[in-house]
Amino acid sequence: MLTRLRGEKGFGLLELLMAMTMLSIGILALVSAFNSGTIALERAGRTATASALADAQMERYRALTYGAIQLDANAVNATDTTYRNDSALGGSLGNDVTTSTGCSGVPPECNPSRTLTGADRHNYRLDTYVTLTTPPTGRQEKLVTVVVRGSASPYATYAREQSTFDLSTGS
């Protein structure tokens, strides 16, 4: 009986089983690393596309004179909670948004919220806020904030860009 207990028959099978278990754990770790890398690349791609869309919208405002920087009063939707609750408004939609009824045809720079298709063929929601601010110098400025979000609720924010314009902007 002692000879039989001291024998090493079957240890090769146990070693093989342990090696296969350790190998499968290693392979699962590699698969999860590839999966998280794919998710990170997708997020980075969306952020880059959203930044390009925000830059394009801000360039539209940079091409305008101070008086033309405004949003269409008829297009500002006071019931859209995503638009209304953004930090760019400072908590209220009232007199903070610079609007006008003179934006005929609602060009892209006058539209406060629209859906665009990016270069990556995904849809993005582009929200624009034009608010009046008075810095310590006392000269009133318009603060333009462009926020690019995902197109489906809940809207994930991918890019946010701000720029100020004063009366010396454009002639």
- Tens digit of each residue's pLDDT (9 = 90 or more) over 33-90: 999 999 999 999 999 999 999 999 999 888 888 888 888 777 776 667 888 778 887 6
pLDDT at 169: 64
- Tens digit of each residue's pLDDT (9 = 90 or more) over 99-149: 665 665 556 677 888 899 999 999 999 999 888 888 887 788 888 999 999
Domain boundaries, the chain: 2-165
Which comes out higher in pLDDT, residue 14 or 10? 14
Whether 27 shows a pLDDT value over 90: the answer reads yes
Torsion of Cα atoms, 63 then 68 then 69 then 73, to 10°: -140
Rounded to whole angstroms, how far apart are CA atoms 144 and 129?
6
Whether 95 shows a pLDDT value over 50: the answer reads no
Q: Which residues contact 55 (CB under 8 A, 6 or more apart)?
A: 161
Rounded to whole angstroms, how far apart are CA atoms 66 and 32?
52
Q: Which residues contact 170 (CB under 8 A, 6 or more apart)?
A: 64, 65, 66, 68
